[in-house]
Each structure stands twice: as structure tokens, then as C-alpha cells.
Structure 1
Amino acid sequence: MLEEEYQPRRELPPHLRKLPQPETPFAYRMRDAVPADLPAVREIYNYYVANSTVTFDEDAMTLKEWKAKYAFLQKLGMPFIVAEAPSGQLLGYALVAPWKPKRAYRFTVENSIYLGPAAAGKGLGRALLGELIDRSKEAGLKEMIAVIADQGAEASIALHEKFGFVETGRMGRVGYKFDRWLGTIMLQRSLK
């Protein structure tokens, strides 16, 4: 071995070294969704429509469709919340919608949580789901259902299980997207 291989590595003088930059904390606030949020909600959702199998929608939702959905959920008193960065950027959203249209199902809802790319992997999904559960209880809802794709949504399944959701069923090959068959996993949690 050569002698130079054993010599310590030289360092830059202190005045030439880069100072470590403090990490900017991931900050957000949660609030009720308002109509002005709907264009950003649409963009977040449509990203998943075009790029993933976590939603079985194949066509992007229009702003008109989001406005109708928002009005319907408001009329029913269903929670629809957003997470907003200090800059005003919408980071994600969570909502519940009626599980089925028949009156007997009126206390059972299905949840939806979607995060923008800047918010993935930072604990925001957990925060949104916790807040959604609390607000759903306050609204008098009794059961919450999550219908999750059986491929590509492992993080969503794990998140729901951490909140006490239990698997109640599976359906195979009920959706066809991106030239492949997909199934669903149903999880349920009591809000009592």
C-alpha cells in the first residue's frame, strides 16, 4: 500500500466550508375546505387519476364536478378538510361521502385522502385521517369505510390499520385500469 493512502483527508479551512442549512420544518394547518380550494383539490386528485391505481377513475374530474360534489357534501354536513402550507399551497385533502345512497346507510361513510407530491411521506396522511375521524364523530356518523386498491396502495392500508380499521372484505378483478385487472380491499372502523 502506498503511504498517501494512509494520510488523513484534507479539509477546507472553516471560512470556505458550507455551513449546514437548518432543515425547514414541514408545516401546515388543517381547515374546512372552501370553494376556492377546489381547483387545487382537482389538480391533486387528477394527478392520481392519470398516474396511479389508487383511484379507479380513468377520466380527470372537472371543476364543475368538484363543485357539485362539494355542494352535495356541504348539504349533508359531511366533513371535507384541507391541509394548507404557510405559503397557501394546498398540500392535501380528506373527505367522507355517503357509502350508499339508500337512507338506511345514512350513518356510514367512505373516506378519501389524497396528498400532493410535496406532502407525501411526511405524516400528513396520518394527521388528515385522524382529523377526519374526529370530525366524522362530531357530525354524528357511526361507521367509516375505506375501499382501497389491492395493488399499489400498501401505505394506505397500513395507515388505516394504525387507526383501528379492520379488513372486512376483498373483491378481485373488479376494476380494469392501465391494461391490468385490479381488486379492492375493504376496511371498516366504528366511530362510536
Structure 2
Amino acid sequence: MSNNNSYKIRLATADDAEALLDIYRYYVEKTAITYEYEVPTVSEFKSRIEKVLEYFPYLVVEEGSSADDSENAGSTRIVGYAYASKFHERAAYQWCVEMSIYLHKDCKRNGLGRALYEELEKRLKDMGILNLYSCIGYPEKEDEYLTYDSVRFHEKMGYKLIGHFHKCGFKFGNWYDMVWMEKIIGEHGDDPCIINSQHS
């Protein structure tokens, strides 16, 4: 992380939609990290945020100018976000979530992804979530649109590869694979607590 800036993780609001969409836009238009073809509208993205927040934490990380940077004092910008969503609608899956994370394209490899995921994991564990899953685009060989970076990141975060689907996504004239990764963060007892939708 830069010595000239400080970082703060907080719960997202629907009002963050435009800033988050600005980050996501790059991944839709320039990468196969997401298999979405069209950039959502701000209104659609706002609805996605609100839907997640009904059940799970949706976190953003803000970069703020340091106290000794008088020219930009008090200014902040969102440089990444991470959230959990339902792994499946059926009730028996309520202790599982799917994880998602996106950082501004110029803010990678500086610890922000780890900080976001660790905070999200802590909040999910406090809710009683036990299983974390991530669905990740995976190339047969790395190219300009997709690398193995996301898999490597999740491995460092303690995730294990549990499934591999071949040539299931087509984007930019290429077929891409998809893998599932899993991390267990709690004990699977005989009488797990029912998950509610309250979070902070």
C-alpha cells in the first residue's frame, strides 16, 4: 500500500453503485474475469447491491489522502469491493455463500484484496456461515483477457480447488474454463444455527 494514503473498509450502500460500476466496467469490457458481456446500468448495479445487502455484507475499501497530503486532504475514493451472495436458493444451502471481489485495475498486489476478504470472512463467520465458494474463470493458457491470478490469490487465502468445468464460457472469441474453489471457516455440527439476514 502507498505510504501517502490510508485505507478504510466499510459496508457499501446503494449510493456507491456508480463508483463500484466504474471498477467493474473494466472487467466486463477488457477481461474474461467476468463472463458478463454488457456493462450493467447504474440502476441495475444499484439493485444488485441492495439485493446482497438484504442477506450478506457488501464491503468497499476506500483510499483516503494522508494527513500530510494537504493538497488532497479529506478526499476519498473507492478502490475495491467484495461481497457474499447466496450459493443456492434452497434452504439447506444457507450455511454456504459465493464470494466475489473486484479491485480497481491499478490497485492490485498491495494487500487490499486480502484485507477485504479477511474482513468479509470475519463478518460471515460471525453470522454462522461455514462454507465459502468462489467461481473463477480459468484459461487453458493465460492470455491478455484471463490469467491464473485469481486462482493464485484464493489459494493464498486458504481456498482449495474442488471443481473444473471445461470450455463453458465464450468471450472475446475464446472458450474459457471455470473452476470452483472452497474454504471451510467453521465446524459442521449436528444442529447449526439458522442464518438470519442481519449483518453489520
Alignment TM-score, normalising by the size of structure 2? 0.80
Higher relative contact order (CA 8 A, sep 6+): 2
Query: Is the 2:135–2:181 contact (alpha carbons within 8 Å) kept by the matching residues of 1?
Result: yes
More helix by share: 1
1:58 to partner: Cα distance: 0.7
Q: Secondary structure at the match of 1:119?
A: coil
Task: Give yes or no for contact 1:26–1:122 (8 Å, CA) kept in 2.
Answer: no
Query: In the alignment, which of 85, 98, 111 is matched to residue 86 of structure 2?
Result: 98
> Gapped runs of 5+ residues in structure 2?
65-74, 140-145, 187-200
Deviation of 1:162 (Å): 1.5
Secondary structure of the 1:28 match is: strand
1:124 maps to what in 2?
112
Letter in 2 for 1:128: L
**Secondary structure in structure 2 of the residue aligned to 1:83:** strand
In 2, distance between residues paired with 1:29 and 1:92?
11
User: What pairs up with 1:37-76 in 2 under 5 angstroms?
Assistant: 37-76=16-55
1:32 is displaced (CA, Å) by 0.5
Residue pair 1:48, 1:54 contacting (<8 A) in 2 also: yes
| 1:81 aligned onto 2:59 | yes
Question: Which has the greater radius of gyration?
Answer: 1
The answer on whether the counterparts of 1:171 and 1:184 sit within 8 Å (CA) in structure 2 is: yes
CA contact (8 A) 1:82 1:90 kept: yes
Gap runs ≥5 in structure 1: 1-22
Aligned pair count?
Answer: 169
- Summarize deviations over 1:31-86 as a string: whole Å, max 9, x none: 1101221111111112100000111111111112222212211221x011000011
Q: TM-score, normalised by structure 1?
A: 0.83
Q: Give the equivalent residue in structure 1 for 2:190.
A: none
Moved over 6 A (4+): none
Task: Tell me the C-alpha RMSD between the 2 structures.
Answer: 1.4
